[in-house]
Structure 1
Amino acid sequence: MPIRPEHRFFYPIDWPQLSAVIRFRRAGGCCEGCGRPHGQKVYCLSDGRWWDRELGTWRNENGKPVSCPPSLDDLMAGVRVTKVVLAAAHRDHDTSNNAGANLAAFCQRCHMNHDRPEHQRRRWRTLFRRKALGDLFGGPYA
């Protein structure tokens, strides 16, 4: 995933090489959360199940094969085709901690699920700050 220019200085200069080592050498080109393969298109259901073309089976959101295939209703409700792109993620959300144990190769879905609590925390902080600035400079909110 591209790094925003304003966040670039938080990452080491060799980040592209470090990320490639984590994603392709250590993880073997598959998501460490669910096992989705990098660069391939996969069929996904809304609950996280996805079709593994190599093994010819449906897998759950954790990459484990499901015991029973999805019903016709599940399939009719919506099957999305997504291209899997792996990204190196910081497990503790600290971009200065680039130890191998702190980095994980995640697909888009696993990366967003991993970052969800941090995004919620930042969103609350941003809204709280905006409200405080509004109270300080413009009086109470309407």
Structure 2
Amino acid sequence: MPIRPEMKERYPADWKARSRFVRFYRARNRCEWCGAENGQPHPVTGSKVVLTAAHVFDHRPEAASLLNLAALCQRCHNRHDATMRRVNAAARRHQGQMEIAL
């Protein structure tokens, strides 16, 4: 997943190297959770697999140790982040309602 411009400064300077290491060397170009091969059709969804480096235990961009990163396909990454995205979206909606009330 692309890094949002406002978040870029929170990632380590060597993020690209860490991401590349996790995706291509450690994971050998496959999703570490489901085994889908990068660049090939996903065995479940049929869409082209694009591996990303995902924060697994600690979602903060600064928490970029290799033990906290996993090479994941879109399906696994989205499933892993789904709960966090719902919580963040609810918080943004609530914040917007608070601003309207003021």
Whether TM-score is above 0.5 comes out as yes
Per-residue CA deviation, residues 14-36 of structure 1 (Å, 9 max, x unaligned), is: 11111000011111111011110
SS of the residue aligned with 2:97? helix
For residue 40 of structure 2, what is the aligned residue in structure 1? 40
Between the aligned residues of both structures, percent identity stands at 42
1 or 2, which has the higher strand percentage? 1
Q: So what's the TM-score if we normalise by structure 2?
A: 0.92
Give TM-score, length-normalised by structure 1.
0.67
Q: Distance in 2 between matches of 1:122 and 1:134?
A: 18
Per the alignment, residue 108 of structure 1 pairs with 74
Other structure's SS at 1:42 match: coil
Against the structure 1 CA distance between its residues 109 and 117, is the aligned structure 2 distance closer, same or farther, given a 3 Å change threshold?
Answer: same
More helix by share: 2
SS of the aligned residue for 1:131 comes to helix
Corresponding residue for residue 96 of structure 2: 130
2:51 match: 86
Q: Which runs of 4+ in 1 moved over 4 A?
A: none
Q: Which residue does 2:26 correspond to in 1?
A: 26
Partner of 1:56: none
**Displacement of 1:42:** 3.2
Q: Where in structure 2 are there 5+ consecutive unaligned residues? A: none
Per the alignment, in what secondary structure is the counterpart of residue 94 of structure 1? Answer: coil
Distance 2:54 2:42 in 1: 21
CA distance in 2: counterparts of 1:43 and 1:115, whole angstroms? 21
SS of equivalent to 1:104: strand
